[in-house]
A and B are shown apart, each in its own frame.
Chain A
Amino acid sequence: MSLVLKNVSKNFGSKKAVNNISLTLDKPGVYGLLGTNGAGKTTTIRMLLGIIKKDKGEITWKGKEVDRKYVNFGYLPEERGVYPKTIIKNQLLYFAELKGMKKAEAEKSIKHWAKVLKVEEYLDMTAEKLSKGNQQKIQFMTAIIHNPELVVLDEPFSGLDPVNTELIKNVIIDLVKNKKYVIMSAHQMTTIEEFCSDILIMNRGKAVLQGNLKEIKDTYKVNRVEIDTNKDINKIIESLGLEIEIEKNNQYKIKIDNEEVAHELLDKVIANKIKVNKFEIQKPTLNDIFIEKVGG
């Protein structure tokens, strides 16, 4: 067992920011932390990183109480920030040295990650001259430069273009391959679904759903059928008394409450000699589950 949060709580005055949260990361991988704004994700992250003190509960890493002094963590905060007037290389060196690296070792690591993240040409520039996306890649470097065992990424893809998103995604995949523990908070549910095997959904400081993502999804019944045809099938859908969620260019997303009605729809479409390009019976997406749980 590696990272364990047990019944952790934090109050700010009378406001319960985090209320009795427990989670366990027992094997390398990406753990998803979800919640609306103000749900308590950042407070939870700050507590597990030792930035703020918890009021109650236990946070341990490899069986020991978390302490910044000996835990090798990396952190990309939601609030993006770099020293605007400082040379990029100098600020990377500064953070690497604060994380206990020797200068030569740090320089080697900076060189490596600058190449991977395609920011080599910016190392001798001041941060204010860089685009937001590149500044974000620099900050991402500060989170991983010291080869941490646990990396906490708060909204790692927000504000990035598709090319840079792909770059960061590949780095996260490599981190997991290298047996690192990653906690990721994101608003894009597709990203979480892509990366995370386990999730925790928070609402108003409390855990409203947590566990293995696949197991969570298995507890849900099918709720949607997606069908792509070469003709309008509105009449057939109406005849079955179904509700269309989205319709665009003969592509339909239809709400259902069982698999049988979906097959019935397919049979009727084929019987009407309409060609079917795509037919998929779907379970709720993470987005659906999230909205259901936080009362969106």
Chain B
Amino acid sequence: MRDIITVAKFTMKEMMRRKSFIITTIIIMIVIVIGFNGPNIAKLFSNDNGEMLQGEKVLISDNENLYEGKLNELNQNDLEYKIEIENSTADEIKSKIQNNEIKAGIIIEKQGNDILFRYIVNDTMATMPENLNKELQKLYTTNQIEKLGLNEQKAKEILPEFQTSTEQTEEVKGNTVVIMIISILLFYAIYFCAYQVSSSITTEKTSKIMETLVTSTSPKTIVVGKTLGIGTGGLIQMLILVLTAVISAKLFLDPALLEIVLASTQVTPFVGVLMFVFFILGYFLFATLYAVTGSTVSKPEDIQAANTPVMLLTIVGFYIGQAVIQTPSGSLATFGTYFPLSSPFLMPFRVMMGLATTQEIILSLVILVVSIAVIAHIAIKIYSNAILNYGTKLNIKNLIKMYKTK
């Protein structure tokens, strides 16, 4: 046990001391801060002229009198800008914009059966404000309906607003998109941490330190210690990133919006603990698989090829998870819930969506733990024999032979 802690401590310190680790963490932190400033940044680059026009004058020209003098009614609405009604040509509007007399202008013209709003503005990125467009359409329609002798109520009956809503066959809590995003983040966290086990072992093999190491402690201690060390390092990194996200959310996000996001994730303390447990178990499962591939490689350039089978398994597990989150019932859902390669990416989210029973959670955890024990047993045996193998490339046949070796 003492040796496991020594290996874990050394591995974790070395991992966190690396420039790549520090730089990656800082970059992700920056991305998180930028991400939480998304709504603020979006406002800066917004194409919707509503914000830009705040407090400014907008000239509307109805040269063909299509609105029959009713355009003044627009100012009764609560728009953020002042409407001026005046018959003008496009050139007159342009010159007024250049002289800063108005911010934008609209010429209303009839084109066959259609009506065209010509929006004239200085800003190349700007489009006509959505609410003004809506108001103009509403005003025209109301006027035409009134001319037919219908009241507003009658008009609404003829032209109701059509809305849509979607319901799943099973009652699903939370926002699927938000849940999928969390699932993707969990996948990357597990994948990158587990992958580092492989590269750490390969480094020891290629730098020929392995022989000294295995005379100092047992291969089992090395595998377990390394897995624990990298896992702890990964957890600390995740903690730093989660803290950055929490602080950023509090500092930069609109409290009302934050409340909506939190409500849609359905992250209760129970789900939080469950996510943590599945992260740890998922990490151990993939880390032990990567320990095997790491130990089979003699040259750093071979690591990518050696890791491919495990990478494919990881991706298969992840996509099963994603497919089930989108279609939460059926045989794939049952399979994915218990299949150890996909359950870490899936089970916490089924719980979030309110679709998993306690029995399912327990059974899924038991299968995952047993799988880890079996894979770790095989991995340690292969690792013990493969680490001192240099030169010959190891294939599945060799690995099976190594497993059977005393």
Q: Is the CB of A98 within 8 A of B217?
A: yes
Q: Is the CB of A79 within 8 A of B14?
A: no
User: Which residues between 6 and 33 of chain B lie within 8 Å of chain A, taking CB atoms?
Assistant: 6-7, 10, 13-14, 18
Q: Offer 16 A-B interface pairs, CB within 8 angstroms, sorted by A.
A: A51-B214, A55-B406, A77-B212, A81-B207, A81-B210, A81-B211, A82-B209, A84-B207, A85-B14, A85-B18, A90-B13, A90-B14, A95-B216, A98-B216, A99-B216, A143-B212
Which residue of B209, B212, B215 has the most chain A CB atoms within 10 A of its CB atom?
Answer: B215
Query: Which chain A residue lies CB-closest to B217?
Result: A98
Q: Is the CB of A77 within 8 A of B6?
A: no
Q: Is the CB of A81 within 8 A of B212?
A: yes
Please give me the 4 A-B residue pairs with the lowest Cβ-Cβ distance, nearest first. Answer: A81-B208, A77-B211, A81-B209, A98-B216
CA–CA, A80 and B3, complex, Å: 23
A139: interface (CB < 8 Å): yes
CA–CA, A79 and B203, complex, Å: 14
CA–CA, A83 and B11, complex, Å: 11
User: Which residues between 185 and 230 of chain B lie within 8 Å of chain A, taking CB atoms?
Assistant: 203-204, 207-218
Show the binding face of B for A, using Cβ within 8 Å: 3, 6-7, 10, 13-14, 18, 203-204, 207-218, 388, 390, 406
Point out the residue from B7, B209, B388 that lies within 8 Å of A83, measured CB to CB.
B209
User: Which residues between 55 and 102 of chain A lie within 8 Å of chain B, taking CB atoms?
Assistant: 55, 68, 73, 75, 77, 79-86, 90, 94-95, 97-99
Chain A residues with Cβ under 8 A from B18's Cβ?
A: 85
B213 to chain A: closest CB distance in Å?
8
CA–CA, A82 and B203, complex, Å: 10
Query: Which chain A residue lies CB-closest to B385?
Result: A52
User: Which residues between 256 and 282 of chain A lie within 8 Å of chain B, taking CB atoms?
Assistant: none
CA–CA, A46 and B211, complex, Å: 9
CA–CA, A85 and B217, complex, Å: 21
Chain B residues with Cβ under 8 A from A68's Cβ?
A: 215, 217-218
CA–CA, A139 and B388, complex, Å: 18
A115 to chain B: closest CB distance in Å?
22
Q: Is the CB of A83 within 8 A of B14?
A: yes
Please count how many residues in chain A sit with their CB below 8 Å of the partner chain's CB atoms.
Answer: 28
Point out the residue from B10, B207, B208, B210 that lies within 8 Å of A94, measured CB to CB.
B10
A53: interface (CB < 8 Å): yes
Chain A residues with Cβ under 8 A from B14's Cβ?
A: 83, 85-86, 90
Chain A residues with Cβ under 8 A from B216's Cβ?
A: 95, 98-99
Point out the residue from B208, B211, B218, B406 that lies within 8 Å of A75, measured CB to CB.
B211
A4: interface (CB < 8 Å): no
Q: Is the CB of A142 within 8 A of B218?
A: no
CA–CA, A83 and B211, complex, Å: 12
Query: Which chain B residue lies CB-closest to A80?
Result: B208
Chain B residues with Cβ under 8 A from A86's Cβ?
A: 14
Q: Is the CB of B388 within 8 A of A51?
A: yes
A8 to chain B: closest CB distance in Å?
14
Q: With contacts A86-B14, A94-B6, A94-B10 known, is A49 near B210, CB below 8 A?
A: no
Q: With contacts A46-B388, A51-B215 known, is A98 near B209, CB below 8 A?
A: no
Chain A residues with Cβ under 8 A from B6's Cβ?
A: 94, 97-98
Query: Which chain B residue lies CB-closest to A77?
Result: B211
A257 to chain B: closest CB distance in Å?
45
CA–CA, A98 and B3, complex, Å: 6
Chain A residues with Cβ under 8 A from B214's Cβ?
A: 51
Chain B residues with Cβ under 8 A from A53's Cβ?
A: 406
CA–CA, A50 and B7, complex, Å: 19
CA–CA, A162 and B166, complex, Å: 83
Q: Is the CB of A95 within 8 A of B207?
A: no
Chain A residues with Cβ under 8 A from B388's Cβ?
A: 46, 51-52
Given contacts A83-B203, A98-B217, 20 further A-B contacts (CB under 8 A): A51-B214, A51-B215, A53-B406, A68-B217, A68-B218, A75-B215, A81-B208, A81-B209, A81-B210, A81-B211, A82-B209, A83-B207, A95-B212, A95-B216, A97-B6, A98-B7, A98-B213, A98-B216, A99-B216, A142-B212
Chain B residues with Cβ under 8 A from A83's Cβ?
A: 14, 203-204, 207, 209
Chain B residues with Cβ under 8 A from A75's Cβ?
A: 211-212, 215
CA–CA, A80 and B13, complex, Å: 24
Q: Is the CB of B215 within 8 A of A139?
A: no
Query: Which chain A residue lies CB-closest to B401?
Result: A13
Which residue of B10, B217, B388 has the most chain A CB atoms within 10 A of its CB atom?
Answer: B10
B330 to chain A: closest CB distance in Å?
48
Which residue of B14, B204, B210 has the most chain A CB atoms within 10 A of its CB atom?
Answer: B14
Q: Is the CB of B215 within 8 A of A49?
A: yes
A267 to chain B: closest CB distance in Å?
57
User: Which residues between 128 and 170 of chain A lie within 8 Å of chain B, taking CB atoms?
Assistant: 139, 142-143
B61 to chain A: closest CB distance in Å?
71
Chain B residues with Cβ under 8 A from A97's Cβ?
A: 6
Q: Is the CB of B215 within 8 A of A79?
A: no
